[in-house]
Amino acid sequence: MLLEKRVILVTGGASGIGYACVKAYVKEGALVAVLDVDATALNSLMLEIGNDHMGVVCDVSDAVQIEDAIEKVISRYGVLNCIHNNAGIANPAKALHETSMMEWRRLMDVNLFSIYLTTKYGLEYLKDSGGCILNTGSMVGSMGQADHAVYAATKGAVNALTKSMAIDYAPFGIRVNTVAPAGVWTPMLRKWADEQRNTEEIENYLNDIHLLGFCPQGDVIADACVFLCSDKASFVTGCIMPVSGGAELGYRRS
């Protein structure tokens, strides 16, 4: 198993891509600590994966809660091998000038500030283990997206942050990478699609933007994340890895 006995902390791990990653990490032998603000979803996940793993209800934008959560992980397992910064929100679907200051701050806090917090409070433990950091980004961070200016801005910042962190932490043997999906059928994307006037056209669009011809489930992203957290990626750092079915090439399926 690629991740046997490694302790991986996953933020936003109770649904969507995070959920798929947690299940994949467990399958590969990891001990997983899941941080999520949704207590109901988190409890359901813990029933699936069992008592060898731990769940902590946590607002990832709150410094006190992040510090406490990481200390709980260390208290239980004694080591931290990987931090997967997966937590993220995409709402509101608005142009920049229509976005309120509160909406701006919440997007920045969840998608970006949370990475600062997990690094601040987890770095010394990663130094001890020679561990790694993985961020969940998005292709919109390099391509942009209509009516999601602030979300795209946070993901562009994640890309730049990943590269700078990779440079800063390489002397400690800590790798830092980002996985960058395009469309992925998560509860968040499904909710957005269902809210559109032309849901069927949206589904066709999401299939067609991927060169390989379909919008995937979270498991294909999780496969790449397993690789990036494993020794198979021991010489990979500062990488923004697209897992996008070719969407970044700008073509459409004929």
CA distances from 232 to 3, 37, 48, 224, 225 (A): 10, 32, 27, 11, 11
The residues annotated with a catalytic role in the active site are: 151
List, as one string, the DSSP characters of 143-206: H--TT-HHHHHHHHHHHHHHHHHHHHHGGGT-EEEEEEES----HHHHHHHHHSTTHHHHHHHH
Q: How far is Cα of residue 204 from the mean position of the Cα atoms in its chain?
A: 25
Q: Is the peptide bond before 92 cis (omega within 30 degrees of 0)?
A: yes
**Could you give the CA distance from residue 190 to residue 195 in angstroms, rounded to a whole number?**
9
**β 54-57/31-36 pair status:** parallel
The closest of 160, 163, 85 to 121, measured between CA atoms, is 85
What are 213's two structure tokens? 């011809």
